[in-house]
């Protein structure tokens, strides 16, 4: 077992201490564990199944059913394109296309360098700023294709700056 | 338990009150297509939507596996509305089921091949698009093959593995069009906790789970029950 | 209930109420200015937290005696961030589009000085001589706020604000009433569930009350999965105690011991504010064991939904609380008879429960006097799309769509023409102009082929393609289908494939009939409401806009110039200005270059149809156009 896996198991066990062994706690447990680890690694799911005394597939069934849960570690930056009704009508899908083109991944995927994570969300509640893209939990207004390039450029610059400072 | 009298397709029948129309019909020699329901299970998931029948006094067809019988009920399994729904449901299943019966190891026991003529539906569906699921075939087990593309999601294998054998190694995972019977982590059967008891294979109606040699026993889960004389 | 128990309750509440009122008085009548900042999600997205910080910093820097408090959303989302300043000697004034710079000015010029900065004003809360008040706005004539009344005016994280504005009085009142009488009152009010289907609330309560099985549960359905609606979230964020009070009353009426409030985890602020509200209500014994000293005990737990639209369906929501994938099951049994853990469970929508305290306080007669024959009370809508005033509104049932869109919403922006209105979210449908005179209520909408649903209203103008719109909603429901039953899992996928091909100009004429037939079968054959309503968007657009489908199929033309595969961008050489190259640099794929005459030309092969150039071309030239079908574009020389 890798060190990371051991760590995941320990963290999961720590979280489980707050819960009773009730099946109804499965979803709250998964939410807590993902909140801590960023995703739901295999070993964590097995620990949870053991704790609740349910088949491992039941945990897997729940994790793969809900949009919220992820099976893979998230990228460093999360890009979430709003496809709520208002954003869709103001060209949210065009923005999504632009992100896909620039990051060269599909929605729901992470770039190979694990820098970006592209996904869609339904209505983040700021329809007047449509089309919105939520970049690292901050809604950005009027994200049209040119703005996509701008946002990516600013990440690029940040990274360059950071690597220079590290020299 | 109170008994009631009802008619199904004109046939007068006495049955236990509250029993589901589907069982009453099957036990009286009237076939209604069904895939997802299991007699021994407490409740029908009512998921396959093949068992539609018409009931006098109801404006829409109902699923026979969930409809309790009541005194004086008049059931018609051949009503045009019910048949239309059952046919469409079956066509939808077939449109995303690889139809390769000639080479299919399960063709002798296949329930889909029994339902098609009953509903008078052709196996190749013209008016719909083929919707293949493109999932990998799992032949990791020494005994059987699991081809999820052929699965109709009836849930019989899941039920047998969990309720009858108490193992619970396979179940439904993912959502919507991606819904599939899977093991933990979508792993090949041989790597999962599966003990290769092959009970699930014996109940699969569709050829998704089939013995590698094409033989092996098949169990009819919902076979008609002998009528006890009242 | 015994007389002495009743007096304990009244006495206990009296103490709470007095304390709350004195705090409220102190806030508003201490001669100091009060600043309210709207920090619901919509406000935050627009930057209200920065504004809040600036205001707090300024107040501190200038050592002002002035309270800055957070409130929820008033429903004027189009003008967020909103700040309301109430300064003695002035009416309370609301400012819109406030940013940190404006915030600083408001402090310096209005709080410190005497300039109310009229240039940023949206309106005043009370009538006065200076500034027009909200009640004088044209939309006020149509709006009637019952459940949105507190939203944006009280601090949702302070139970005192709620109590001082009359909160929890209905609870005290019902604790002295026999449960049957409460149910009777709710029945007489003719309140119908606001979760979409419009089931009579009192009847549901009665069924649950008479169901055997203990303990009973009350669940508040705050799943709100419609991608364009946010009224439940707004209420939970702006006035959570209203919902809790409704739940406690419902629990008392049906005899429930435990409750759940189901809120999506994607609504972190609503989750947080509900948690705060639960804690505060428990502290004051308005929740928990022996509420206000009575024999009645009821406690509520918050459950965070994990993001599946189908979990809004009641049986699915219940399975999800039990720790399973949200797979609906066949009804009957209905939850009111056999729900959570097989026990009788009352499940109501956020809005439904919010009405309860008002009905108890003002009486069933008052409520039943609002609205139409079959639909009483008000309706809350989230206005979005091509409409000037996006945001929330509450109008009496029976208000026409025209009034909501043109009077409350101020019509279509940019001088465009109204085309259709999509109402009811993914379960609803698109209605054409002729439906504008339709009085909105549960029955009229279903008759027209739409649905009250979640209450989302999306206004569409001439630039919106109806086929594309149907595709958008169907794509949503298809993706969110639980996948259990055949019709919904495979049928919606079939429809989506066909629609997708139509929007790409690859559809066949038979597809249109196939869509209609399949839609009917999916409606009749699906197990739960998701499948039963998913085809509505297609059916309603086919009913009213069949010609658009036919244009796509027969001519490969998208009349609204929206479907990407059926359009081409073209620069009119006659209009293109030689000296301008605004579009050239903005094109994200470098598809535009000048020809030898310095007229700009789009390389069709490279163009990804992102619309950037069309926006960039200066208005006075307006040289870029879209063509459909794409082969209409003149060959470039
Ligand atoms: C697919 C689907 C989604 C639903 N989503 C919601 C929802 O988000 N909120 C809600 O209150 N009801 C929703 N409902 C309706 C609920 O099933 C249920 O009828 C409602 O919560 C009952 O409350 P009411 O009687 O107060 O309307 C949904 C129904 C379906 C079929
Ligand atoms: S594998 Fe066979 S038994 Fe199992 S769900 Fe699929 S069709 Fe049914
Ligand atoms: S209609 Fe759709 S969401 Fe509802 S049970 Fe069937 S598959 Fe699931
Ligand atoms: S047998 Fe009735 S729906 Fe499957």
Q: Which residue of A has its CA nearest to B176?
A: A65
Distance CA C342, CA C321 (A): 12
What is the domain class of C567-627 according to CATH?
A: alpha beta
- Residue C145 to residues C2, C79, C209, C379, C393, Cα–Cα distance (Å): 37, 19, 30, 9, 8
Q: How many CA atoms lie within 13 A of A145 on its CB side?
A: 24
Q: Are C417 and C436 in contact (CB under 8 A)?
A: no
Q: Are A122 and A84 in contact (CB under 8 A)?
A: yes
Q: Cβ separation of B175 and C498 shorter than 8 Å?
A: no
A136 touches chain C (CB under 8 A): no
Q: Are C466 and C399 in contact (CB under 8 A)?
A: no
What is the domain class of A77-165 according to CATH?
A: alpha beta
Residue of A35, A85, A87, A143 for testing the chain C interface, max C β-carbons within 10 Å:
A85
Q: Are C303 and C261 in contact (CB under 8 A)?
A: yes
Q: Cβ separation of C323 and A144 shorter than 8 Å?
A: no
Q: At what angle do helices A3-16 and A26-37 cross, to 10 degrees?
A: 140
Distance CA C44, CA C46 (A): 5
Find the C109 Cα to ligand 3 centroid distance in Å.
Answer: 58
Sign of the alpha-carbon torsion through C196, C202, C206, C208: positive
List all residues 6 or more positions away from C580 whose beta carbon is below 8 Å from its beta carbon: C618, C621
> Taking CB atoms and a 6 Å cutoff, what residues make up the pocket around ligand 4?
B 34-37, 44, 46-51, 63, 65
Q: Which residue of C has its CA nearest to A126?
A: C42
pLDDT of residue B227: 58
For the segment(s) C378-461, the CATH number from 3.10.20.600, 3.40.50.2300, 3.40.718.10, 3.40.50.300 is: 3.10.20.600
Domain C159-367 has CATH 3.40.50.11540: yes
Chain C positions touching B131 (Cβ under 8 A) are 490, 493-494, 497
* Residue A142: both structure tokens together: 């009027």
Residue of C307, C327, C330 for testing the chain B interface, max B β-carbons within 10 Å:
C330
List all residues 6 or more positions away from C473 whose beta carbon is below 8 Å from its beta carbon: C422, C425, C426, C537
Residue of B171, B184, B187, B200 for testing the chain A interface, max A β-carbons within 10 Å:
B184
List all residues 6 or more positions away from A6 whose beta carbon is below 8 Å from its beta carbon: none
Chain B positions touching C481 (Cβ under 8 A) are 175-177
Distance CA A149, CA A144 (A): 9
Checking if the pLDDT of A69 tops 90, the result is yes
Chain C positions touching A55 (Cβ under 8 A) are none
Specify burial of residue A158 (Cβ count, 10 A radius: 0-12, 13-18, 19+): exposed
Q: Are C571 and C577 in contact (CB under 8 A)?
A: no
- DSSP letter assigned to residue C605: T
Domain C466-554 has CATH 3.40.50.300: no
pLDDT in tens, C4-43: 888 899 999 999 999 999 999 988 888 899 999 999 888 8
Distance CA B127, CA B91 (A): 9
Average pLDDT per run of 10 along chain B, which is 230 residues long? Answer: 93 95 96 95 94 96 96 96 97 94 88 95 91 93 92 95 90 96 92 80 92 82 67
Q: At what angle do helices C466-480 and C536-550 cross, to 10 degrees?
A: 150
pLDDT of residue C636: 58
Q: Cβ separation of C45 and A125 shorter than 8 Å?
A: yes
> Taking CB atoms and a 6 Å cutoff, what residues make up the pocket around ligand 3?
C 310, 328, 481-485, 488-489, 526-528, 530-531
Measured in angstroms, the CA of B7 and the nearest CA of chain A are apart by: 42
Write the residue with the smallest CA distance to atom 8 of ligand 3. Answer: C482
- Beta-bridge partner residues of C371: C376
Measured in angstroms, the CA of B192 and the nearest CA of chain A are apart by: 10
Write the residue with the smallest CA distance to atom 1 of ligand 3. Answer: C531
CATH, range B95-211:
3.30.70.20
Atom of ligand 2 nearest to the CA of B203: 3
Measured in angstroms, the CA of A17 and the nearest CA of chain C are apart by: 18
Find the C211 Cα to ligand 3 centroid distance in Å.
Answer: 27
Domain with CATH 3.40.30.10 in chain C: 31-136
Sign of the alpha-carbon torsion through B100, B103, B109, B113: positive
Domain with CATH 1.20.1440.230 in chain C: 466-554
* Residue C573: both structure tokens together: 């050489």
Q: What are the residue boundaries of the structural domains of chain B, listed by start?
A: 3-90, 95-211
Chain A positions touching B175 (Cβ under 8 A) are 64-66
Residue of C496, C519, C525, C535 for testing the chain B interface, max B β-carbons within 10 Å:
C525
Tell me the best of B24, B33, B38, B49 to mutate to test the pocket of ligand 4, counting ligand atoms within 8 Å of each CB and taking the most.
Answer: B49
* Residue C276: both structure tokens together: 């705060």
3-state secondary structure of A3: helix
pTM over 0.90: yes
Measured in angstroms, the CA of C28 and the nearest CA of chain A are apart by: 31
For the segment(s) C31-136, the CATH number from 3.10.105.10, 3.40.30.10, 3.40.50.1370, 3.40.190.100 is: 3.40.30.10
Q: Cβ separation of C494 and B128 shorter than 8 Å?
A: yes
Q: Are C450 and C428 in contact (CB under 8 A)?
A: yes
- % of residues, chain A, pLDDT over 70: 99
For the segment(s) B3-90, the CATH number from 3.10.20.740, 3.40.50.2300, 3.30.1330.80, 3.30.565.10 is: 3.10.20.740
A49 touches chain C (CB under 8 A): no
Q: Cβ separation of A42 and B185 shorter than 8 Å?
A: yes
Tell me the best of B24, B46, B114 to mutate to test the pocket of ligand 4, counting ligand atoms within 8 Å of each CB and taking the most.
Answer: B46
Chain B positions touching C527 (Cβ under 8 A) are 46-47, 49
Q: Cβ separation of C588 and A146 shorter than 8 Å?
A: yes
3-state secondary structure of A43: helix
Q: Are A40 and A8 in contact (CB under 8 A)?
A: no
Q: Cβ separation of C228 and A84 shorter than 8 Å?
A: yes
pLDDT of residue C2: 66
Q: Which ligand is nearest to the CA of C264?
A: 1
Distance CA B83, CA B92 (A): 14
Q: Which residue of A has its CA nearest to C305?
A: A27
Q: Are B75 and B53 in contact (CB under 8 A)?
A: yes
Q: Are B212 and B143 in contact (CB under 8 A)?
A: yes
User: Which of the residues in chain C have pLDDT under 50?
Assistant: 637
How large is the average pLDDT for residues A126-148? 85
């Amino acid at each position: 077992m890798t060190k990371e896996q051991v760590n995941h198991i320990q963290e999961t066990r720590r979280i489980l201490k707050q819960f009773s062994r009730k099946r109804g706690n499965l979803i709250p447990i998964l939410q807590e564990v993902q909140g801590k680890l960023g995703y739901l690694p295999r070993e964590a799911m097995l620990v949870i199944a053991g704790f609740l005394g349910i088949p491992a597939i039941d945990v897997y069934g729940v994790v793969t059913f809900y949009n919220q849960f992820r099976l893979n570690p998230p990228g460093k930056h999360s890009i979430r394109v709003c496809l709520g009704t208002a954003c869709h009508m103001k060209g949210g899908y065009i923005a999504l296309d632009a992100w896909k083109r620039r990051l060269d991944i599909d929605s729901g995927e992470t770039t190979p360098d694990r820098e970006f994570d592209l996904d869609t969300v339904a209505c983040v509640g700021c329809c007047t700023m449509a089309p919105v893209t939520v970049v690292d939990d901050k809604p950005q207004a009027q994200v049209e294709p040119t703005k996509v390039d701008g946002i990516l450029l600013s990440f690029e610059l940040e990274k360059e700056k950071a690597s220079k400072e590290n020299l | 338990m109170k008994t009631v009298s009802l008619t199904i397709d004109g046939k007068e029948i006495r049955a236990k009150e509250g029993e589901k129309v589907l069982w009453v019909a099957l036990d009286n020699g009237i076939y209604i297509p069904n895939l997802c329901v299991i007699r021994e299970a407490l409740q029908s998931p009512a998921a396959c939507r093949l068992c539609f029948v018409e009931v006098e006094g109801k404006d829409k067809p109902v699923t026979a596996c969930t409809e309790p019988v009541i005194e004086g009920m008049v059931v018609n399994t051949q009503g045009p509305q019910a048949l239309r729904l059952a046919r469409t449901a079956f066509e939808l299943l077939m449109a995303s089921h690889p139809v390769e019966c000639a080479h299919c190891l399960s063709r002798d026991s296949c329930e889909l091949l029994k339902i098609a003529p009953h509903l008078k539906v052709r196996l190749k569906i013209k008016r719909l698009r083929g919707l293949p699921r493109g999932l990998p075939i799992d032949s990791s087990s020494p005994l059987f093959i699991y081809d999820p593309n052929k699965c109709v999601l009836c849930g019989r294998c899941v039920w047998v593995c969990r309720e009858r054998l108490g193992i619970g190694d396979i179940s439904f995972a993912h959502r919507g069009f991606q819904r599939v019977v899977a093991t933990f982590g979508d792993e090949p059967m041989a790597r999962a906790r599966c003990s290769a008891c092959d009970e699930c294979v014996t109940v699969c109606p569709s050829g998704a789970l089939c013995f590698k040699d094409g033989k092996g026993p098949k169990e009819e889960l919902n076979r008609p029950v002998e009528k006890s004389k009242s | 209930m015994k007389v002495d128990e009743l007096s304990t309750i009244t006495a206990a509440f009296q103490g709470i109420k007095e304390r709350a009122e004195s705090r409220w008085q102190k806030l508003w009548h201490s001669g100091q200015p009060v600043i309210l900042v709207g920090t619901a999600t919509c406000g935050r997205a627009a930057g209200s937290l920065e504004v809040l910080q600036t205001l707090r910093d300024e107040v501190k820097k200038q050592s002002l005696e002035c309270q800055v408090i957070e409130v929820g959303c008033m429903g004027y989302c189009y003008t967020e961030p909103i700040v309301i300043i109430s300064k003695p000697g002035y009416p309370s004034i609301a400012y819109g589009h406030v940013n940190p710079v404006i915030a600083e000015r408001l402090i310096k010029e209005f709080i410190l000085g005497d300039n109310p900065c009229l240039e940023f004003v949206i309106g005043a809360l009370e009538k006065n001589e200076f500034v027009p008040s909200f009640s004088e706005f044209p939309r006020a004539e149509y709006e009637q706020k019952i459940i949105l009344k507190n939203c944006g005016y009280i601090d949702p994280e302070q139970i005192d604000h709620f109590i001082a504005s009359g909160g929890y009085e209905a609870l005290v009142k019902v604790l002295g009433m026999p449960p049957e009488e409460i149910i009777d009152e709710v029945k007489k009010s003719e309140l119908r569930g606001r979760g979409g289907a419009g089931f009579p609330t009192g009847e549901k309560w009665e069924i649950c009350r008479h169901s055997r099985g203990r303990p009973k549960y009350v669940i508040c359905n705050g799943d709100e999965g419609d991608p364009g609606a946010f009224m439940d979230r707004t209420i939970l964020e702006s006035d959570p105690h209203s919902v809790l009070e409704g739940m406690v009353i419902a629990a008392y009426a049906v005899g429930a011991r435990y409750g759940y409030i189901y809120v999506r985890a994607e609504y972190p602020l609503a989750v947080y504010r509900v948690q705060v509200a639960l804690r505060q209500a428990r502290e004051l014994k308005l929740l928990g064991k022996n509420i206000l000293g009575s024999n009645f005990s009821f406690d509520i737990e918050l459950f965070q939904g994990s993001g599946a639209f189908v979990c809004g369906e009641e049986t699915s929501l219940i399975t999800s609380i039990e720790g399973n994938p949200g797979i609906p099951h066949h009804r009957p049994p209905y939850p009111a008879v056999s729900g959570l853990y097989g026990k009788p469970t009352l499940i109501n929508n956020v809005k439904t429960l919010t009405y309860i305290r008002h009905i108890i306080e003002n009486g069933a007669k008052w409520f039943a006097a609002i609205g139409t024959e079959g639909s009483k009370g008000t309706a809350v809508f989230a206005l979005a799309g091509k409409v000037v005033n996006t945001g929330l509104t509450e109008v009496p049932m029976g208000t026409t769509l025209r009034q909501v869109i043109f009077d409350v919403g101020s019509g279509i922006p940019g001088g465009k023409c109204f085309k259709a209105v999509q109402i009811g979210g993914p379960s609803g449908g698109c209605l054409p102009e002729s439906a504008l005179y339709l009085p909105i209520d549960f029955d009229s909408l279903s008759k027209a082929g739409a649905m009250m649903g979640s209450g989302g209203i999306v206004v569409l103008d001439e630039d919106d393609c109806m086929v594309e719109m149907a595709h958008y909603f169907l794509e949503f429901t298809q993706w969110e289908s639980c996948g259990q039953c055949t019709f919904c899992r495979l049928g919606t996928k079939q429809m989506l494939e066909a629609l997708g091909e139509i929007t790409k100009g690859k559809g066949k004429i038979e597809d249109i009939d196939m869509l209609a037939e399949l839609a009917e079968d999916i409606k009749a054959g699906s197990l739960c409401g998701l499948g039963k309503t998913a085809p509505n968007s297609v059916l309603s657009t086919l009913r009213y806009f069949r010609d658009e489908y036919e244009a796509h199929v027969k001519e490969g033309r998208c009349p609204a110039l929206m479907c990407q595969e059926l359009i081409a961008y073209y620069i009119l050489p006659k209009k293109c200005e030689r000296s301008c190259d605004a579009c050239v640099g903005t094109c994200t794929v470098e598809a535009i270059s000048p020809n030898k005459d310095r007229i700009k030309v789009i390389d069709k092969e490279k163009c990804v149809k992102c619309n950037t150039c069309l926006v960039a071309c200066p208005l006075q030239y307006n040289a870029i156009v879209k063509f459909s079908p794409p082969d209409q574009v003149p060959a470039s020389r």
